[in-house]
Structure 1
Amino acid sequence: MAAPQLIQDDDDDDDAVRLHVEANVTTANPDTPPPRLANGTPTRHASSSFSPPATEKHPERGGLSGLLKQNQLIRSLSGGLRRHCDYVKIAVPEDERADLLPAEWWKTGVAFLYALFILFFTTVIITVVHERVPDKSVSPPLPDKFFDYVDRVPWAFTVTEVNGLILVGLWLVQLLALKHKAIVGRRCFFLIGTLYMYRCVTMYITTLPVPGKHMVCAPKLYNDSTGKIWRILRLISGGGLSLTGSHLMCGDFLYSGHTVMLTLSYLFIQEYSPRWMWWYRWFCWSLSASGVVCILVAHEHYSIDVVIGYIATTRTFWWYHTMANTHALRQAPNNFLSRTWWNPVFHFLERNVQTEVPVVFSLPVTLPSSCRQRYRIVEGVGREE
Structure 2
Amino acid sequence: MAASELIQDSDDVRPHVEVDVTAENPPSPPRPPRVANGNPIQLASPTSVPAHDAHDGKNKHVRGRLSRLQESQLIHSLSSRLRRRCDYVKINVPEEPADRLPKEWWKTGVAFLYALFNLFFTTVVITIVHERVPDKSVNPPLPDKFFDYVDRVPWAFTVAEVNGLILVGLWLVQWLLLKHKAIIGRRCFFLIGTLYMYRCVTMYITTLPVPGKHMVCAPKLYNDSTGKIWRILRLISGGGLSMTGSHLMCGDFMYSGHTVMLTLSYLFIKEYSHRWMWWYHALCWLLSASGVICILVGHEHYSIDVVIAYFATTRTFWWYHTMANSHSLHQAPNSCLSRTWWNPIFNFLERNVQATVPLEFSWPVSLPSSCRQRYRIVEGTRDE
Q: What TM-score, normalized by structure 2, do the two folds share?
A: 0.73
* 2:210 matches 1:210: yes
Partner of 2:180: 180
Alpha-carbon spacing, 1:114–1:226, altered in 2? closer, same or farther (3 Å): same
Q: 1-side partners of 2:256 and 2:98: how far apart? A: 39
Q: Give the fraction of aligned pairs with identical amino acids, expressed as a percent.
A: 87
The answer to whether the aligner puts 1:189 opposite 2:189 as a matched pair is: yes
Which residue of structure 1 aligns with residue 332 of structure 2? 332
> How far 1:98 sits from its partner (Å)?
6.7
> For each residue in 1:9-30, what CA deviation from the matched residue of structure 2 results, as whole angstroms up to 9, or x when unmatched?
xxxxxxxxxxxxxxxxxxxxxx
SS of the aligned residue for 1:100 comes to coil
Alpha-carbon separation, structure 2, partners of 1:378 and 1:276: 33
Name the SS of the counterpart of 1:160 in structure 2.
helix
Residues 1:98 and 1:360: Cα distance change in structure 2 (over 3 Å): farther
Query: 2: CA distance between counterparts of 1:225 and 1:379?
Result: 66
Alignment deviations for residues 328-348 of structure 1 (CA, whole Å, 9 cap, x no partner): 111223210000011011111
1:372 Cα deviation from its structure 2 partner: 3.1
3-state secondary structure, aligned to 2:99: helix
Kindly provide the CA deviation profile for residues 118-147 of structure 1, in whole angstroms up to 9, marking residues without a partner as x: 100000000000000000011110010111
Structure 1: gaps spanning 5 or more residues:
1-95
After superposition, the CA RMSD in angstroms is 1.5
Deviation at 1:274, TM superposition (A): 1.2
Matched positions, count: 289
Alignment-derived partner of residue 11 in structure 1: none
- In structure 1, the residue matched to 2:229 is 229
The CA deviation at 1:257 is 0.1
Q: Distance in 2 between matches of 1:302 and 1:98?
A: 52
Shift of residue 116, structure 1, vs aligned partner: 0.6
Partner of 1:29: none
Partners of 1:364 and 1:250 in 2: how far apart? 40
Counterparts of 2:215 and 2:176, CA distance in 1: 38
Q: Hey, what's the Cα distance between the residues in 1 that align with 2:358 and 2:342?
A: 24
1:263-278 paired onto structure 2 within 5 Å: 263-278=263-278
Structure 2 counterpart of 1:316: 316
Paired position in structure 2 for 1:147:
147
Q: 1:276: Cα distance to partner?
A: 1.6
Residue of structure 2 equivalent to 1:262: 262
Distance in 2, matches of 1:98 and 1:282, equals 38
User: 2-side partners of 1:296 and 1:127: how far apart?
Assistant: 23
Does 2:292 match 1:292? yes
Other-structure match for 1:371: 371
Structure 1 counterpart of 2:238, one-letter code: G
CA 1:345–1:223: 2 relative to 1, 3 Å: same
1:305 alignment partner in structure 2: 305
Partner of 1:56: none
Q: Secondary structure at the match of 2:301?
A: coil
Alignment partners' CA distance in 1, 2:187 and 2:232: 27
* Correspondence for 1:118: 118
Q: Which residue is equivalent to 1:106?
A: 106
Q: Tell me how far apart the structure 1 counterparts of residues 318 and 123 of structure 2 sit (CA, whole Å).
A: 27
CA distance 1:217–1:98, shift in 2 (3 Å): farther
Call closer, same or farther: CA 1:124–1:340 in 2, change over 3 Å.
Answer: same
Extract unaligned runs of 5+ from structure 2: 1-95
Structure with max Cα Rg: 2
Q: Compute the displacement of 1:370 (Å).
A: 3.0
Name the CA distance, whole Å, in 2 between partners of 1:342 and 1:112: 16
TM-score, with length taken from structure 1: 0.73
Larger mean CA deviation between 100-109 and 368-377 belongs to 368-377
Report the alpha carbon displacement of residue 371 of structure 1 after superposing the two structures with TM: 2.9
Aligned to 2:83: none
Matched residue type, 1:218:
A
- 1:239-297 C-alpha deviation (Å, 9 max, x unpaired): 00000000000000000000000000000000011112111110000000000000001
